[in-house]
Amino acid sequence: MGAVISFLAWVHKKKKTSQTLITSLPKDVSVDCTALVSPTLISSLPKNFSVNCIALVPIPKSPTLITSHTERDSTDCTALRVPKHKYPDLITLLPADVLTDCIARVPKHWYPTLSLVSKLFRSMVASPELYARRSLLGFAESCIYVPIHCSHDLSIRWYTLLRNQRRLVPIPLLPLTPYSSSVYVVLGSRIFVLGGYYESQYTTNVSTMDCRYDTVQPYGTMPKAVVNPVAEVVDGKIYVIGGHHGKDSSFWSSDLMMVLDVESQTWEYVEKKSGLEMGHNLISCVALEDKIYIKGCRKSFVFKPKEGKWEEEANELLHSSGRGTSGCVVDGILYSYDTYGNCLRAYDLKKRLSCGVVKGLGGLVKKSYKVFVVRCGENSVLLMQNGDLLKPGIWCAEIALTERNQRGEIWGKVEWSQLVLDGDASFSDCLSVMV
């Protein structure tokens, strides 16, 4: 992927913006950029990349593209011959569909950089066709979005996790969000931000973030202002459950459920089963096969939207992982971090049975009072608030779930674990979005 960036950045090398961009690229990429300043440009690229790119170019449309074989480290490469006295804008020689296929292979976190190179790139990275092509070619990726605020300011700034660099970085295109204690829900490539409060004022506002373009749009209002609810998506509808509805602590309510039909943009109330005591302050919820599993401090529940039925979850292991935790579902198994036992637990939602502690994660030991678990591709990502007040910061670990033996034990492997954001900052959620 570094070679793709190198190729695209070199095309506009004469522009000051591109020169600045190249110096900001990783060392291996900038070295490639320097190596590309020669008449045989693509000979510097990896063979598999150059062959794939040139193979996409229709011969009649690209008479200037000639394949040749040059010796470089005993490897045949595809080369592009350009007159030495003139370096044309090579990108303009490529058909639009070919250029789209090239950019579709570039990791999304490079798109803000590409948009600064030229108007052409800026229009392409803002094109819906590009993301449709990424999905079709199999290059859609799981991007981690994290709302973070510092202790001196309750406003939310959005960060993204660069897994290859193992750090959280701010998303420059997304503005500060004034509301805190909102609930966030992922639907397709969008994040819905519902409710919250600002300067002690509760809000009914709803907004959406389009993670393809990193833009924010208002989305109307909720029927009732709420902070700290839990929410999930089933069949294109967002279920907002519980939360706080007033300044008085007596306004904590798990009885309230508001449902947003995203297609029609209409709201409705859903009544809770009479006599079902859910208690205060619901912690999190997940959805699987048209069911919503809701975790509370003392009890957990299952809601079936199509039938309108509620059930109390008898197995205490579903709600024994402590406050400040949120889990993810992989192949019907709910993974959540137990902040009391300092371990990752697994729960079979279909069988409604505990699978115990995930084995093989000795390198994960890190005391934390808040841990969110999300699925990212084939792996799971754990975002952890550092429990050491003398060394504040946010830690992250990536885990590969390797196997499940005949005894039902689930084993995993810690791919990496380290501090991804230093300083006095706190996150309120962790969301995985396919773009």
Same domain, 12 and 106: yes
CATH number of the domain where residue 193 is located? 2.120.10.80
If asked whether residues 229 and 298 sit together in one domain, one would say: yes
Kindly state whether residue 319 falls inside one of the protein's structural domains: no
Percent of the chain with pLDDT over 90: 37
Q: Are residues 404 and 342 in the same domain?
A: yes
- Asked whether residue 160 falls in the same domain as residue 186, the answer is no
* Residue 176, domain member (yes or no): no
Asked if 222 and 161 sit in the same domain, the reply is no
Tens of pLDDT, residues 86-97: 444 566 678 888
Reply yes or no on whether the pLDDT at 76 is more than 60.
no
Whether residue 93 lies inside any domain: the answer is yes
- Give the pLDDT score at 253: 60
Which residue in this structure is represented by tokens 């706190």? 426
State the residue range of the domain holding 371.
141-171+324-435
pLDDT, average across residues 225-240: 93
**In-domain check, residue 283:** yes
Give the separation between CA 366 and CA 169, rounded to whole angstroms. Answer: 22
Residue 388 lies in a domain: yes
Tokens of 308: 């309108």
Mean per-residue pLDDT over the chain, rounded: 77
The answer on 11 and 105 residing in a single domain is yes
**Are 406 and 339 members of one domain?**
yes
Give the single-character DSSP code of 94. Answer: S
> Would you state the pLDDT for residue 140?
95
Checking if the pLDDT of 232 tops 60, the result is yes
Q: What burial class does residue 110 get, using C-beta atoms within 10 Å of its C-beta: 0-12 exposed, 13-18 middle, 19+ buried?
A: buried
Counting the structural domains of the chain, the total is 3
Please report, in angstroms and rounded to a whole number, the separation of the first and last CA atoms in the chain: 17
CB atoms within 10 A of CB 122: 15
- What is the DSSP secondary structure assignment for residue 340, as one 8-state letter? T
pLDDT at 158: 96
Kindly tell me if the per-residue pLDDT of 278 is higher than 80: no
Residues 66 and 159 in one domain: no
Residue 82: per-residue pLDDT: 41
**Does 433 have pLDDT greater than 80?**
yes
Q: Which of 75-84, 120-129, 182-191 has the lowest mean pLDDT?
A: 75-84
Cα 120 to Cα 189: distance, rounded to the nearest angstrom: 23
Mean pLDDT over residues 349-374, rounded?
84
**Same domain membership, residue 99 and residue 224:** no
For residue 348, being part of any structural domain is answered with: yes
- pLDDT value of residue 13: 46
Residues 356 and 242 in one domain: no
Residue 80 reports pLDDT greater than 60: no
What is the tens place of the pLDDT at every residue in 304-329?
A: 999 988 888 776 655 555 556 788 99
209 and 250 both lie in a single domain: yes
Given 261, 280, 314, which residue is the final one in a domain?
A: 314
Residue 253 in any domain: the answer is yes
Residues 347 and 225 in one domain: no
Note whether residue 386 is domain-resident: yes
- CA 123 from chain center: how many Å? 23
pTM: 0.79
Nearest to 302 by CA among 258, 350, 357, 339: 350
pLDDT number for residue 59: 42
